Chain A
Amino acid sequence: MHSYDFDLKDISKIEGHTHMNVKVLDGKVTECKLKINENKRFFTQAVVGMNYAQVPMTMARICGTCSSSHTLCSIETIEKAFGVKVTEQTIRLRKLLSNAGHLRDHAMHLFFFVLPDVFGIDSVLDFGDNLHHWIHYGLDIKAAGNYLSTTIGGRAIHPPNAAVGGFTALPKKEELIEAQDKLAAVRKKVLAIIQLLYQKRSNFLFKRKTNYIGLVNNDYNFLEGKLKDSKGNEISEESFADHLERVVIPYSNATAFEFEREEYTVGALARMNVNKEYLNKKTKKDTEKYLKVFPSANIFDNNLAQAIEMLNIVDNSIEMLNMEIKPEKPVKIVPKKSTGVGVVEAPRGTLYYRFDINEKGILTFADLCIPTQQNIFHMENSIAAYVESLIKKGKTKEEIPFEIEKMIRAYDPCMSCAAHFLKVDWI
């Protein structure tokens, strides 16, 4: 009966390069391999020997999409190593910068990568006039995020103003007001995509439970807090790595991670599953019906979770932008021999950094754990189970590869991030 190989090459509408192989024997998946073929760029080696001040802007270049997260995680790691206390204003601006990055990124994923799947059309470039308003919505939301990123970070990609100790340039009050206006103007468009994804949910149902992990805090920001899993365990940022196991995958350019020796998932779905009670009140009020979906064991709900996060970003940021800008310079840094750990929520999930630094402020060791690396095992196992369920439902050999692609896209993987490090052992 059903025995065949699926060989999906150059999967499109994701970040970076990957293939997928699935072997099926008598209706059972015998092999399911995500073959990340992004070329390694050895950033963890490159920053060793570098002065701490250059590190955030270098690490930003790991990924064009997630650059704000890499910048902010590098900064947090260095500041924790040196015991630096930054100002309230800096903390607030950083939260806004990460909000902006997530808004842009979620909008790109949902409108450019996911909507084609929702409408059964290959590309947003092929949308007919009847769907053009969706493109407008996506572009406008992205533009609002872009404006906020540029206002605070100096640029949407590889933001130059965020530095160790604070910001090298500060936004003007009138720019903050304009950012507020732009965010307020896209709120309805964000609600529209939430509604659409909820309506179309019945086409995207596949439940498979796992452990979900994300940072929790009382205002759903992406930078602070403790890690929490869906079993209720809470872990400090510093001890996160003690629970992780790095696993080399012989067929992939990336290594993967297990949490307490089991597969797990990070990302918007995980965050929504463990932290939804701390969403903005306005967001909660307007998404009450949709929030009942969570906690969810359906990876396709990652898309709905991202859409709700966009609304939360809009509501939180509009409130946070009610601020006066005090002229201030980054706080003075005194390097010391130290180790720092930083954890932030990147758009695609929990991002972990560790740096060892010497008394001159030179990095002697760097290690990272990337969201997509943490999702690899869950992805492979879920896709295997999904393929078997599709076969049972009578989906044909021709239909299944497209369904696999849709599921891969639902994870919003970032291969650029996942592959750019050399395997190192935890110390």
Chain B
Amino acid sequence: MDKKLKLGFFSFTCCEGCMISFIEILNEKFFEWKDKIDIQYFKALKKVKPIGPMDIAFVEGAISTPDELKKLKLIRKKAKKLVAIGSGAINGWPSNQRNNFNKEKKKEIAEAVKKFNQMEKITPVKELIKIDDEIPGCPVDQKLFTKKMESYINA
């Protein structure tokens, strides 16, 4: 391995449980992976900087605003590989619960949806852009995530 994999971790509308799961994986893997991966973007761990080129982007959460969609498209453009992690990014749950609200509940939330510039529906990442891989679970399955990460490192 002559070059570290440049990675980005991005959270959209979600509970951030998948990012926390990754930080839990690091309990075992931090030093093993230290010289193999270069974490460029991870807001929970370091200062935010403008998004540039990267090898793999891991994306959690669903998309609820036009700003999020714009950012997602930028990440897609800058990342060689984009991996959707967890149910929010793959199928939208639980952020998409409001898509199926009845009329009464929709009325209750209408003002907030408008005020905060949310889109009419919450959409999973997978339906909006091309993804290269996905790791399911709520939160993301830690064993599978570890295995996938190792396969990317060794690819």
Binding site for B on A (CB under 8 A): 9-10, 12-17, 39-43, 45-46, 48-49, 58, 61-65, 67, 104, 108, 112-113, 122-126, 132, 135-136, 139-140, 142-143, 146, 156-158, 253, 416, 422-423
Contacts and interface: CB of A to CB of B under 8 A. Distances in A.
B45 A46 contact: no
Interface residues of B, number: 43
Given A45-B108, A61-B15, A143-B27, 9 more contacts: A13-B45, A17-B11, A41-B97, A42-B98, A42-B101, A61-B17, A64-B17, A158-B17, A416-B14
B131 interface: no
B28 A48 contact: no
Contacts, number: 126
Given A46-B94, A146-B27, A112 B17 contact: no
Given A39-B118, A46-B98, A142 B46 contact: no
Given A40-B116, A45-B108, A123-B46, A64 B16 contact: yes
Contacts of A10: 43, 48
A108 B138 contact: no
A14 to B, nearest CB: 8
15 contacts: A12-B45, A15-B16, A41-B95, A45-B98, A48-B105, A49-B102, A64-B21, A65-B20, A108-B20, A112-B45, A123-B47, A126-B46, A136-B31, A139-B26, A156-B24
A416 to B, nearest CB: 6
B112 interface: yes
A61 B138 contact: yes
Given A39-B13, A45-B98, A62-B15, A125 B48 contact: no
Question: Residue among A42, A49, A135, A156 with the most chain B CB within 10 A?
Answer: A42
A44 B64 CA distance: 18
Given A62-B15, A67-B15, A143-B28, A41 B45 contact: no
A39 B109 contact: no
Contacts of A156: 24
B91 interface: no
Given A63-B15, A112-B44, A125-B45, A157 B21 contact: yes
Contacts of A157: 17, 20-21, 24, 139
B18 interface: yes
B80 to A, nearest CB: 21
Interface in B27-52: 27-28, 30-31, 39, 42-48
A368 to B, nearest CB: 14
A211 to B, nearest CB: 30
A140 B24 CA distance: 10
A39 B27 contact: no
A357 to B, nearest CB: 17
Top 3 closest pairs, chain A to chain B, by CB:
A64-B17, A123-B46, A143-B27
